[in-house]
Structure 1
Amino acid sequence: MTVTHTSIEKPSLDIASVVNRRAAGHSLEAPFYTSQEIYELDLDVIFGRHWFFCATEAEIPEAGDYVTVNVGPHSVIIVRDDDEEIRAFRNVCRHRGARLLDQGCGSVGNIVCPYHQWTYRTDGSLVFAEYQPSTFDREQFGLRPVHVRTVGGLVFFCLSDEPPSDFDEFSRFVEPYLLPYDLRTAKVAHQTDIVERGNWKLVMENNRECHHCDVSHPELLTAYFPFNRHSEEDVPPRMRPLYERYKAAEAALTATRTAAGFPQEERRELDSRPTGFQLFHLPLDGAGASLGKGGEQVCKKLLGSITDPKFGDLSLHMQPNAWFHFLSDHAVVFWVQPLSPGETLVRTTWLVHPDAVEGVDYDVDALTAVWKATNDQDRALVEATQCGVANPGYVPGPYSTVEDDVEAFVNWYVKRIRSSLG
């Protein structure tokens, strides 16, 4: 007897309905974290039409240095050309479409296609294409450019033909805060990649709050206070002494910034614009200098024109994929890249003064210890949450009073998706 199995086709997800019924102040429904359809929509709308932080200038310090970045089906080359300008191109040969550069980073004199050796300068112009007719116009077949911008040593690109125009205003506001750190000439001391088995939005949501910090991040709290957008009413009695120390450190940092002539305004525009961001200055605990034991420095040389090691942590949050910590003696740069509905790459880069010598001015293990531990702890939290949201028993829950940056991220995301759906 032959048994015939009839497959039941799963109905297509009604994305518009899922988006429109999102309850403000609550986490997202499960499909936002598990659906292949929403993941592909995220690649198109969020990562295809917004500015994407991808690297620091310190990663490509010399002419010909490059990094490649993959976003879904897209691959982009970020390269410093012979005139020291940062450029971005589609990582596709104009001949028959072969991928040009397969490594994540490197250095080239020219960009040469491995298939038929079409050759491009680092400004994207085509200089060699064999066996073409006399009518062939090389100028028409340069690499396809991608919009790219630098802000204080940070590199962003946008895949859209019409990127969000508010980036100019963001750049004008943020760059004066970054220039004293002189990130353009900084040196990469270390870089790590980890793959978290969780949706990219869960990675970002986890980053946008410190509600979990006092339980989950003991290493981080050797220097950081576990307060983020806490009012006095939010602080439980057990944490009152720590909160008082935090307020005293905050007042001392304000005085230090004022004495240094450092910009004072902080800005929180996480969900009110296409290029959502937040810039704020955090005091550090203990010695107040850096992430060493008791808040001590982890690099002897201070960045840029910073002269006082007790300069706190200038923090920048960017939608959709990055966050940054700029300290007196080093900077830590994070960005995420979605790999699948349930996998996300998290890259962390540590920058130090260009003249800082490993083993003399800093030790890599000491420099990276706090954030390596924290990244691994966050990885476990994200993966546990991914398991939870994939469970049929999951229903969206309400955010706490100290998770408004999470709500702002989710609200920004939903606005962008809803706008794309018309």
Structure 2
Amino acid sequence: MLNRLSSDISALLEARADGHSLPAGLYTREDVFEADIDVFFHKHWICVGLDCDVPEPGDATVVDIGKTSLILLRDDDGGLRVLHNVCRHRGSRLLDAGKTIVSKLVCPYHTWTYELTGELTYAPHMGKDLDKQCYSLKPVSFRSIGGLIYVCLSDNPPEDIAGLEQAMIERLAPYDIRNAKVAHQTDVIEDGNWKLTMENNRECYHCSANHPELCVSFVDIDFGFDPETLSPEDREQAEEHFRLYDERTKAWEADGFPSSAVEQLVDCATNFRSQRLIIAGAGESQTPDATAASSKLLGQMTRKDLGDMHLWGHNSWNHFMGDHAIVAIVIPLSADRTLVRTKWLVHKDAVEGKDYDLEKLTDVWIATTDQDAELVARSHAGALDPAYQPGPYSPFSETNLDKFATWYIDRMRAHGH
């Protein structure tokens, strides 16, 4: 049965045409979803949280990925730990979903007790011959990259995470995300497949028609365009914009702020792209008027004119600005349901109502995420329709979708599908 299912998935992979969206079954089928969890959320590096989710010793938060439950915590010495949320006695969950504060990890079933390092210290009525050292909680491979926590559940994590690490440590350093704080968090469940969520995020072909709030701070020309359809005036405007990008990028980098595009999108395991983007209008932040939402800037930032340091991976997207940052993490729940967890970060000492206005801070991306949820639901409903057939990606606005689909197919095949 497993071989037949794998063969069926292989047929779907083979059916994908270059430059086109995926066959419907790759978005809708339950066996494909299970394969996706195994390949992309167990065997690849994924972003699951932030250092500042657990700022103090004893702080813990649980993140569930498919059937796997993880504990992110800060141990007594202030070190980060990521542990499997599975008691070594009979497998009970140790902690419930969400945030908590603990001094020990105590199993609610039979009170097996673990230090915050994962070491088993108490196992009542098990006899003197029980070797506690053999029953520590299982650790998870993780990297904290500029304050973003990436985990890999495989025993052989992809080594090319080094490319992401090398690019982002310097880029994120001025923002000091490790010492920021989460000012607000939302969990939105989209009624669609996780790949549709990621595809929707990787293009802004749809933005001008669907995201009026975001378009205040996003530059229209960055959405992509067909140069043959431009009027002479619009073509001149586009050329001026590209000159401005070149000028700004050189100036930012001369001031010590890496800004040019860096990416691993195909022929790789760890998929990411980063670039410092120009912010439109007032040019300071992704807010309703494009001005900073917080008067206390992040980390060591002293400038509000450094644009949007953008980073995406295959289950996340991030925007780092002088005054605040937005971190979105995507977690598949089923073939047709996807959790989008968005966090708004400010300086750890920023005070709501004094240094920042929460509504101004969150308005744009609350609206954008709700709008995207509707678009993803429409896309998934269309993929379920018998009339669906893969359509062509725009060669001007959706080239990154083509690369994502190509990467997806290649990685599925690399893992035996």
**Residues 44-90 of structure 1 deviation map (CA, whole Å, 9 limit, x = unaligned):** 11111001100011111011111111111111111111122211111
**Candidates 284, 292, 299, aligned match of 2:279:** 284
Find out whether 1:221 has 2:193 as its counterpart: no
1:193-212 to structure 2, matched below 5 A, reads 193-212=187-206
2:267 matched residue in structure 1: 272
Q: Whole-Å Cα distance in 2 between the matches of residues 106 and 152 of structure 1?
A: 24
2:312 matched residue in structure 1: 317
1:4 matched residue in structure 2: none
The alignment partner of 2:41 has SS state of helix
**Residues 232-282 of structure 1 deviation map (CA, whole Å, 9 limit, x = unaligned):** 727744955764674465356325513531124421211221011101111
Matched to 2:129, the amino acid is: T
**Candidates 262, 273, 290, aligned match of 2:257:** 262
Find out whether 1:390 has 2:384 as its counterpart: yes
2:361 matched residue in structure 1: 367
The alignment partner of 1:14 has SS state of helix
CA contact (8 A) 2:141 2:153 kept: yes
Find out whether 1:108 has 2:102 as its counterpart: yes
2:413 matched residue in structure 1: 418
1:147 matched residue in structure 2: 141
User: How many pairs are equivalent?
Assistant: 412
Find out whether 1:123 has 2:117 as its counterpart: yes
1:167-178 to structure 2, matched below 5 A, reads 167-178=161-172
Q: Whole-Å Cα distance in 1 between the matches of residues 354 and 228 of structure 2?
A: 43
State TM-score, norm by structure 2.
0.94
1:129-140 to structure 2, matched below 5 A, reads 129-140=123-134
Find out whether 1:340 has 2:296 as its counterpart: no
**Residues 166-220 of structure 1 deviation map (CA, whole Å, 9 limit, x = unaligned):** 1123212221101111001001110000000000000000000011111111000
Higher mean C-alpha displacement, 261-270 vs 223-232: 223-232
CA contact (8 A) 1:192 1:349 kept: yes
The alignment partner of 1:350 has SS state of strand
2:401 matched residue in structure 1: 406
Find out whether 1:230 has 2:220 as its counterpart: no
The alignment partner of 1:415 has SS state of helix
Q: Whole-Å Cα distance in 2 between the matches of residues 184 and 322 of structure 1?
A: 17
Higher mean C-alpha displacement, 16-25 vs 325-334: 16-25
Matched to 2:340, the amino acid is: V
2:292 matched residue in structure 1: 297
The alignment partner of 1:311 has SS state of coil
State TM-score, norm by structure 1.
0.93
Matched to 2:285, the amino acid is: S
CA contact (8 A) 2:260 2:276 kept: no
1:50 matched residue in structure 2: 44
Shift in Å at residue 231 of structure 1?
A: 6.8
2:150 matched residue in structure 1: 156
Distance change (3 Å), C-alpha of 1:255 and 1:136: same
Matched to 2:101, the amino acid is: S
Matched to 1:60, the amino acid is: V
Structure 2 portions without partners, runs of 5+ = none
**Residues 7-62 of structure 1 deviation map (CA, whole Å, 9 limit, x = unaligned):** xxx99971111112211110001101110110000011111100110001111101
1:87 matched residue in structure 2: 81
Percent identical: 44
Shift in Å at residue 300 of structure 1?
A: 0.6
Distance change (3 Å), C-alpha of 1:234 and 1:389: farther
**Residues 297-344 of structure 1 deviation map (CA, whole Å, 9 limit, x = unaligned):** 11111111221111100000112x001000010000001110010000
CA contact (8 A) 1:235 1:243 kept: no
Q: Whole-Å Cα distance in 1 between the matches of residues 255 and 349 of structure 2?
A: 23
Q: Whole-Å Cα distance in 1 between the matches of residues 143 and 5 of structure 2?
A: 42
CA contact (8 A) 1:225 1:246 kept: no
CA contact (8 A) 1:287 1:310 kept: no
Q: Whole-Å Cα distance in 2 between the matches of residues 396 and 211 of structure 1?
A: 17
CA contact (8 A) 1:126 1:138 kept: yes
Find out whether 1:190 has 2:172 as its counterpart: no
CA contact (8 A) 1:110 1:122 kept: yes
Find out whether 1:60 has 2:54 as its counterpart: yes
